[in-house]
Structure 1
Amino acid sequence: MRDRRGRDPGAQPGTRVAVVDDDTVIREGLPHLLPGVRVVLAVSSVEELLAARPETDAVLLDLVLTGTGRTGVRQGAAAVEAVARAGHRTLIYTNERRREVLVGCMAAGARGVVHKAEPLAALAAAVAEVAADRVVITQALVGLAELAERRGGLPSLTPRQREILSARARGEAFRSIAERLFIGKKTAEEHMAVVTAKFADFLRDHSPADLERELGLGPGDLLDHRRLN
């Protein structure tokens, strides 16, 4: 069975990724720019993704899917929730930077956030992390940890765990973190594994409404699951 580009997915190695983005350049360009990634489907709406039912290791999802003036399509947290419920590990790929929106989308089931201004190497690394069922830690999630901890919404992080979390969110390598903090590289990685597990447990066990209450946030344009446009 061939994908929409006429290729045989079974004949190609690599992480299987579906791209949902209303930008033609993103849909057409990413398959040529990400080493080790096999784009099995590239569509402009969540509805097309759900209808195609591709086998994926990760879904790369933009949050705003009405750039061509379309209405009645799912986007934001509603899109994330639909993709996650269909059983796909979801990585948000967006220009959106509002923390309340990104936090809400993580609570809806996304496994991480990558901004479109970041280097392609960061995107490729994030895809690999999500495909391995790990949470991609970003500055948005550091903000989530700070807010939720103050309200008791997340298990507490130790000072060392917070240091390593913030450093990884800025893209600092484990070797550099270890040297700066005078600890072993393996120790730094183990601290990060504990942090990732705490995030994963929290995001898996709490609903968007729970998270909004914990953080004191109200519904927003992309945060509200009940809206489709």
Structure 2
Amino acid sequence: MRVVIAEDSAILRDGLAQLLELRGVEVAAAVGDADALLAAVAEHRPDAAIVDIRLPPTHTDEGLRAAVTLRRASPPVGVLIFSQYVETKYAAQLLGDGSAGVGYLLKERVVDIGEFTEALRRVAAGGTALDPEVVSQLFSASRRRSALDALTPREREVLALMAEGRTNQAIAAAFTVSERAVEKHIANIFTKFDLPPSETGHRRVLAVLRYLESAA
């Protein structure tokens, strides 16, 4: 099995390469950024790529976006995301394109290099390897997006103004409707977001947080 590693930390990159080679995995290239990853895959045609999410230059989601590109290539390359973070936006896109040959493991939860190598071989062979915590967070993000999709256009507009800190009176003035109409829209938002009355949480704040998370 031939692999390419994309990890911005030189110590982690070299250490992982050495551990894999000791277990019979050929590391064709170990690089530190997304552009170098794409170039290495094009040159070496590996069975799989091990990719960190946060790569230079911005250290945000370059690795995950590169992984999506690799999965859409012809032929697609097996991709094992190996990161400290769960980034739901592009991860959902990566898995949504077809989960065959895709893995997502969290660094802090991998304690056995043998199990890691087995997961890598599974991904290279077209299988999957997903950490349960990744699945849980992707499921939660999917439910939030579904709830946002359930809102009517006017309810979305009301929620957007709530996120700006507008009062019911200000929202009513913006749409030239009664405050009672605004209250009805907000009640519908609470219902669709499954936010029942609670003594411990402010539903208006929670609804805005759902909106910001879903729009991120």
TM-score normalised according to structure 2 size: 0.54
Shift of 1:123: 1.7
User: Which amino acid counterpart does residue 79 of structure 1 have in structure 2?
Assistant: A
Match of 1:44 in 2: 32
Query: Can you give the 5+ residue segments of structure 2 that lack an aligned partner in the other structure?
Result: 147-210
Q: Secondary structure at the match of 1:136?
A: strand
Structure 1 gap segments, 5+ residues each: 1-14, 152-215, 221-229
Q: Percent identity?
A: 27
What residue number does 1:29 align with? 15
Cα distance per residue 1:87-106 (max 9 Å; x no partner): 21110010004556644543
Q: For the structure 1 residues 43 and 102, does the alpha-carbon distance in structure 2 shift closer, same or farther, using more than 3 Å as the test?
A: same
Assess, with a 3 A threshold, how the Cα gap between structure 1 residues 147 and 123 changes in structure 2: closer, same or farther.
Answer: same
Q: In the aligned structure 2, how far is the partner of 1:51 from the partner of 1:79?
A: 11
Q: CA deviation at 1:50?
A: 2.1
Partner Cα separation in structure 1 for residue 30 and residue 95 of structure 2: 22
Shift of 1:144: 4.0
Alignment size in residue pairs: 141
Tell me which residue corresponds to 1:218. 214
* Helix, strand or coil at the partner of 1:33: helix
| SS at structure 2 position matched to 1:78 | helix
Provide the rounded CA distance (Å) in 1 between the counterparts of 2:58 and 2:139. 34
**Within 1, Cα distance between the matches of 2:130 and 2:123?**
10
Paired residues of 2:51 and 2:63 also in contact (CA < 8 A): no
What is the match of residue 65 of structure 1?
55
Taking structure 1 as the reference length, what is the TM-score of the superposition?
0.51
RMSD: 3.4
Contact 1:80 1:109 survives alignment (8 Å): no
CA offsets per residue over residues 61-112 of structure 1, 9 Å max, x none?
Answer: 000003xxx3499615422212222321110010004556644543366711
Answer 1 or 2: higher relative contact order, Cα 8 Å, separation at least 6: 1
Question: CA distance change for structure 1 residues 127 and 41 in 2, over 3 Å: closer, same or farther?
Answer: same
Aligned residue among 92, 106, 111 for 2:81: 92
**Greater CA radius of gyration, 1 or 2?**
2
Cα distance, 1:26 vs structure 2: 2.1
